[in-house]
Amino acid sequence: MVEVTHWDAYIQMFSTLFALAIAWYCFRLASFLKGGIFHKSFRMFGPAFLLYSIGSFLDIFPELGIGEEWVHMIHLTFYAASFTLVTYGFNLFYHAWKKMGMEIV
């Protein structure tokens, strides 16, 4: 197995905190945009970054030697769900933007 330093765990901790901050910002922005045209897309971004932060948090344990290898599979599942929600959110954002008449921009 590849040698893992504590810097990898620190990067995962930073990634977890950063994703939580983005999720909090997206939830606040979604509440601000409530009833607006971009509300649906930002409702997807908040849970997506929350799932990403959970997956990132779960990845800290195997890097410190605490967890098993199957924890990597769980964190990859959270990453895949996060990617799916972000992609769907961008799709909703694009369709809302197009509906606004900005297709020539």
Q: What is the pLDDT of residues 35-54, one digit of tens each?
A: 888 888 888 999 999 999 99
Domain ranges within the chain, ordered by starting residue = 6-99
Are the C-beta atoms of residues 70 and 58 closer than 8 Å to each other? no
Residue 101, judged by CB atoms within 10 A of its CB (0-12, 13-18, 19+), counts as exposed
Residue 2 DSSP symbol? -
pLDDT exceeds 60 at position 2: no
pTM: predicted TM-score of the whole model, two decimal places:
0.81
